[in-house]
Amino acid sequence: MGTNPSLLVRRDIGHAELADIVRRAKEGEDRASSDLCVYVYAHIYSYLYYRVDRAEDAEDLTSEIVVKVIQSIAKQRGNFHAWIYQIARNHLIDFYRRRAVRSEISLNDIPEQASGKSDGFSKQVLTREKLKRGLKHLTEEQRQVVILKFIEGHDNREIASIIHKSVGAVKVLQFRALKALRDYFTRREVYEAEN
């Protein structure tokens, strides 16, 4: 079963509109809760997609997180994005703990992509699967910054709030992450060219 495409459409709304939807959802308004589900699903799915091996896991986890968000919306305080990403992060940690206990984690779940010529990292078109492999070579904080910045589209100030770091620390993490990705893809390109 695939993800409902309408749920993956980004719901980029302004801060004031989001605050109004959250307020109305806290008051129990069904329409606001429904809008919030769509908004949270669109943001959290892409965040999780790059952190798990299978799209089906990302779909299941995202659905579970949306339920948690709606169930606990009345208790939400502070920055809404920081709150939902913290819920997602905690849920993801629990997911990997459960899998580790069942010994089901496999590094062979990601299929190899056909290689091709490239003019270098800056011009290379990355498939989702290649990007997922590259992200595995970053630290947890670097991976989180790359996903929030380049996939989710948050600015450095928002990322700093979400991950509880300074804007300067976010910039350093972003710089190191991009350097690590560039090095990884350059090494991979050289390896593929030699073989």
What is the reported pLDDT for 113? 36
* Residue 40 confidence class, pLDDT cut points 50, 70, 90: very high
pLDDT at 74 over 90: yes
> Does 139 have pLDDT greater than 80?
yes
- For the chain, the structural domain boundaries read 1-109, 110-195
Q: What's the pLDDT score for residue 11?
A: 52
The pLDDT of residue 12? 64
pTM for this prediction:
0.63
Which pLDDT score is estimated for 7? 39
Same fold, 1-109 and 110-195: no
| Per-range mean pLDDT, top range of 8-12, 47-51, 82-86 | 82-86
**Banded pLDDT at 189 (limits 50, 70, 90):** confident
Q: Give 136-145's long-range contacts (Cβ < 8 A, gap of 24+).
A: 137/180, 137/181, 137/184, 138/177, 138/180, 138/181, 141/165, 141/173, 142/173, 142/174, 142/176, 142/177, 142/180, 143/50, 143/51, 143/177, 144/89, 145/170, 145/173, 145/174, 145/177
Inform me whether the pLDDT recorded for 169 exceeds 70: yes
- Whether 152 shows a pLDDT value over 90: the answer reads no
pLDDT at 100: 65
pLDDT at 91: 92
According to CATH, what is the number of the domain 1-109? Answer: 1.10.1740.10
Mean pLDDT of 77-85: 92
Please give the single-letter amino acid code of residue 9. V
Quote the pLDDT of residue 61: 93
pLDDT of residue 128: 73
Task: Please tell me the class of the 110-195 domain.
Answer: mainly alpha
Confidence of residue 80 (pLDDT cuts 50, 70, 90): very high
pLDDT exceeds cutoff 50 at 157: yes
Specify whether the CB–CB gap between 38 and 11 falls below 8 A: yes
From 34, 26, 38, 22, select the one nearest 80 (Cα to Cα): 22
Compute the mean pLDDT over every residue in the chain, rounded to the nearest whole number. 79
